[in-house]
Amino acid sequence: MQFLYSLASFAHLLAAILWVGGIFLVYKVFRPVAMQLEPSQRLTMFLGIFNKFFPWVWGFIFVLIVSGYADWILRLGGFNSTQLYVVAMEVIGWIMIILFAWLYFVFFKRFKKYVEEENFAEAGKVLNTKMRPIIVTNLWLGILEAFIGVSGAYL
């Protein structure tokens, strides 16, 4: 049983690291470098990045949900014996998931359509005014999740 606890915790941690780390990479590394490109090249590049990264995010979300609830039930004794920090992580996690779903199903679809139509002005507006605020919000929420996950039991 101890192995299952460790496996669930590791899967959860790995999925969280890869999701939030991917957000950081796109926002703080790729974006500044991409600003040197022409808008058509930059937006086409971001479409390619998102097309590759977003399916992974859905996988990370699946792993986070399954491993998070498994850990909660198996290691922490279920929902009735939960400390506040675990509930806080659950709430923040669901906010991140909802924000990503909103980004993906509404704004990314619009962004993709505009890039494929070569309407780069509209694609840029969607990326900068709709997608980027959600990406930044999820980055900060992910960092907050990491802090709570590491320190919550000690606060």
- pLDDT value, residue 47: 99
Question: Average pLDDT of 117-125?
Answer: 98
* Whether 72 contacts 82, CB under 8 Å: yes
Joined tokens for residue 34: 């991409």
Name the DSSP letter for residue 35: T
Q: Counting beta carbons within 10 angstroms of the beta carbon of residue 155, is it exposed (0 to 12), middle (13 to 18) or buried (19 or more)?
A: exposed
The beta-strand segments (E) located in 85-143 are: none
- pLDDT value, residue 105: 99
What is the tens place of the pLDDT at every residue in 26-63? 999 999 999 999 999 999 999 999 999 999 999 999 99
- pLDDT value, residue 78: 76
pTM of the model: 0.93
- How many helices and strands (H and E) does the chain possess? 7, 0
Tally of CB atoms within 10 A around 11: 18
Q: What is the mean pLDDT of the chain?
A: 94
Give the N- to C-terminal CA distance of the chain in Å, as an integer: 28
What is the tens place of the pLDDT at every residue in 69-101? 988 888 777 777 678 898 999 999 999 999 999
Name the DSSP letter for residue 76: T
Domain ranges of the chain: 2-150
- Minimum mean pLDDT among 4-18, 51-65, 106-120: which range? 4-18
- pLDDT: is 103 or 76 the higher one? 103
